[in-house]
C-alpha cells in the first residue's frame, strides 16, 4: 500500500528531485532531552562557522530550491524553503529555539545538510500523501488557526486522499494537523533536494535521521520503512 508518492506531473516538471522518506510508527515525542539539546546546539554553532559570510543563496542545495520555487510561480525571497528559513534565522540571530524532540532532531539534520526536513504527524491523514500540483480547492489550516484556507492553483503541495494539505509551496510551511506535538506517534519524515549532489547528501541525511529517531524518539529499526524516491522510484 502506497504511503507517500510523487505525482507524475511533478516529476515531469522537476525531474531532478530526490526525496528521502521515513515512515515510522510507535514513536514517542516529548520535550527535547538534554542530550539532544546539547547535540543540536553544537551543530548550530558548527553550522554558523561552516557558512561564515557566504550568502545562503550560494549554497547549491538552497539555490536549487530557489529555482524550483520560481518554477511554480513563487518568489523564493518572499516564501523561503524551510531549510533556508532555518539557516537565515540561525545566521542572523545566532541560535534556533528548542521546540520538541521530533522537530528539533529534524531541524538539526536540516541545518547540517542545508536541506528541508519535515516531520508529518499522520494521525489525521487519509490514505496516501501525494506531492502534486494544487487545483486550488484543497484545504490547508495554518498552525495556530482553525479556519482552513486554500492553496494557489499550480503550487506544489503535500496532500492526502481527502484533499487535506499537510504542506504548502512544497517545503515552505506545514499544516496545523501535520505538526509534531506531544501526541505524535506515527509520522512521515521527508528530506528533499534538487541539486547535482543530492543523492549522497539525501542518503547521509536519512541515515542521520533514522539514528536520531532511534536514539531520542524510541524508534526501532523494524518500525521504520526507509526509501529514496526519484523519477524512477516515485512511491513508498
| Domain of residue 223, residue span | 4-229
How far apart (Å, rounded) are the C-alpha atoms in residues 213 and 234? 24
Q: Report pLDDT digits (tens) over 118-155.
A: 999 999 999 999 999 999 999 999 998 889 999 999 99
Q: Report pLDDT digits (tens) over 73-101.
A: 999 999 999 999 999 999 999 999 999 99
pLDDT (0 to 100) of residue 219: 96
Distance separating the N- and C-terminal Cα atoms of the chain: 8
User: Considering the domain boundaries, does residue 13 fall inside one?
Assistant: yes
CB atoms within 10 A of CB 18: 21
Res. 184: pLDDT tops 90: yes
How far apart (Å, rounded) are the C-alpha atoms in residues 136 and 157? 10
User: Considering the domain boundaries, does residue 99 fall inside one?
Assistant: yes
User: Considering the domain boundaries, does residue 236 fall inside one?
Assistant: no
pLDDT (0 to 100) of residue 66: 98
Three cell numbers, residue 119: 516531520
Res. 212: pLDDT tops 90: yes
In percent, how much of the chain has pLDDT > 90?
96
Residue among 127, 134, 129, 192 nearest 166 (CA): 129
How far apart (Å, rounded) are the C-alpha atoms in residues 234 and 12? 12
How far apart (Å, rounded) are the C-alpha atoms in residues 166 and 176? 8
Res. 223: pLDDT tops 90: no
Number of structural domains the chain divides into: 1
The C-alpha R_g of the chain, in whole angstroms, comes to 17
The DSSP annotation for 54-84 comes to: --GGGSHHHHHHHHHHHHTT--TTTS--HHH
How many Cα atoms sit within 13 Å of 199 on the Cβ side?
Answer: 5
44 touches 111 (CB < 8 A): yes
Q: How many angstroms separate the Cα of 5 from the Cα of each of 1, 165, 203, 210?
A: 11, 14, 18, 20
User: Considering the domain boundaries, does residue 192 fall inside one?
Assistant: yes
In percent, how much of the chain has pLDDT > 70?
100
How far apart (Å, rounded) are the C-alpha atoms in residues 121 and 158? 13
Res. 2: pLDDT tops 90: no
User: Considering the domain boundaries, does residue 235 fall inside one?
Assistant: no
Q: What is the mean pLDDT of residues 206-221?
A: 97
Pairing of strands 129-133, 4-6: parallel
User: Considering the domain boundaries, does residue 234 fall inside one?
Assistant: no
Which helix (H) or strand (E) segment holds residue 9: the answer is helix 8-13
The full length of the chain comes to: 236
Which CATH number characterizes residue 175's domain? 3.50.40.10
Res. 30: pLDDT tops 90: yes
Predicted confidence band of residue 161 (pLDDT cuts 50, 70, 90): very high
How far apart (Å, rounded) are the C-alpha atoms in residues 89 and 52? 14
Q: How many helices (H) and strands (E) does the chain have?
A: 6, 9
Amino acid at each position: 500500500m502506497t504511503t507517500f508518492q510523487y505525482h507524475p506531473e511533478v516529476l515531469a516538471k522537476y525531474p531532478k528531485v530526490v526525496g528521502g522518506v521515513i515512515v515510522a510508527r510507535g514513536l514517542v515525542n516529548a520535550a527535547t532531552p538534554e542530550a539532544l539539546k546539547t547535540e543540536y546546539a553544537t551543530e548550530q554553532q558548527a553550522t554558523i562557522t561552516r557558512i561564515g559570510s557566504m550568502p545562503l543563496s550560494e549554497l547549491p542545495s538552497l539555490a536549487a530550491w530557489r529555482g524550483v520555487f520560481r518554477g511554480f510561480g513563487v518568489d523564493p525571497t518572499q516564501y523561503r524553503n524551510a531549510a533556508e528559513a532555518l539557516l537565515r534565522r540561525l545566521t542572523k540571530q545566532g541560535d534556533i529555539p528548542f521546540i520538541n524532540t521530533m522537530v528539533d532532531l529534524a531541524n538539526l539534520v536540516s541545518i547540517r545538510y542545508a536541506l528541508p526536513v519535515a516531520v508529518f504527524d499522520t494521525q489525521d491523514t487519509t490514505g496516501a500523501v501525494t506531492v502534486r500540483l494544487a487545483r486550488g480547492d484543497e484545504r490547508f489550516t495554518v498552525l495556530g488557526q482553525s479556519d482552513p484556507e486554500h492553496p494557489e492553483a499550480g503550487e506544489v503541495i503535500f496532500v492526502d486522499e481527502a484533499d487535506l494539505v499537510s504542506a504548502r509551496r512544497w517545503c515552505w510551511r506545514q499544516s496545523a494537523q501535520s505538526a509534531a506535538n506531544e501526541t505524535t506517534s506515527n509520522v512521515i519524515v521527508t528530506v528533499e533536494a534538487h541539486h547535482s549532489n543530492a543523492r549522497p547528501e539525501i542518503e547521509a541525511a536519512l541515515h542521520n535521521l533514522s539514528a536520531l529517531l532511534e536514539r531520542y524518539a524510541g524508534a526501532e529499526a523494524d518500525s521504520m520503512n526507509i526509501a529514496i524516491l526519484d523519477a524512477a522510484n516515485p512511491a513508498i
